[in-house]
């Protein structure tokens, strides 16, 4: 139960942070990603703050013998750069640059977004479901 409550609290804090930093505003994101006329570099401050908080958080977490709500820390990923990683990163970047939203901010913006946001989130979940179907059918595992 504590694990569920802590996950809900972390999600709420994350959503509030995304909203305060205006990462739920596609126009703000697109003006940051567009390096020509109308460029708005203010999201760079949010990025710098996120890096600082993450660095401090990792430092504190790795000082512990084990997580608070789990038996052990998960093993690290291989760190291997492969075709699946590159394809996923490319699709993520294309979607972010085209629409101005990525999954976290899109979900956080559901409370005040319009019908086009619902379409984006539906497409996002459809893409995730399609990936799972392909992965189970081993179409993606052979691409590595």
Per-residue CA distances from 128 to 3, 103, 121 (Å): 25, 11, 11
Q: What is the pTM of this model?
A: 0.69
The gap from C-alpha 34 to its chain's centroid, in whole angstroms, comes to 20
Give CA–CA dist 12/19, Å, rounded. Answer: 11
pLDDT at 9 over 80: yes
Torsion of CA 30, 31, 37, 39, to 10 degrees: -140
Identify the pLDDT of residue 2.
Answer: 83
Condensed to tens digits (0 to 9), the pLDDT of residues 37-76 reads 888 888 889 889 999 999 999 999 989 999 888 888 888 7
Condensed to tens digits (0 to 9), the pLDDT of residues 85-98 reads 898 889 888 888 88
Long-range contacts (CB closer than 8 Å, 24 or more residues apart) made by 84-89: 84/140, 84/143, 84/144, 87/143
Domain residue spans of the chain: 2-143
> Residue 22: left if φ>0, alpha if ψ -120 to 50, beta else—which one?
left
Percent share of the chain, pLDDT over 90: 13
CB 18 within 8 A of CB 28: no
Identify the pLDDT of residue 140.
Answer: 53
């Amino acid at each position: 139960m504590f694990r569920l409550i802590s996950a809900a609290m972390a999600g709420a804090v994350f959503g509030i942070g995304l909203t305060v930093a205006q990462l739920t505003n596609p126009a703000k994101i697109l003006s940051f990603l567009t390096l020509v006329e109308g460029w708005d570099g203010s999201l760079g401050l949010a990025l710098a703050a996120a890096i600082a908080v993450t660095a401090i958080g990792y430092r504190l977490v790795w000082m512990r013998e084990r997580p608070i709500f789990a038996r052990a820390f998960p093993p690290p990923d291989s760190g291997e750069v492969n075709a699946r990683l590159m394809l996923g990163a490319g699709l993520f970047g294309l979607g972010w640059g085209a629409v101005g939203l990525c999954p976290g901010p899109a979900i956080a913006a559901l409370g005040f977004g319009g019908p086009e946001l619902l379409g984006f989130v539906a497409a996002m979940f459809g893409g995730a479901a399609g990936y799972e179907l392909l992965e189970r059918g081993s179409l993606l595992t052979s691409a590595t």
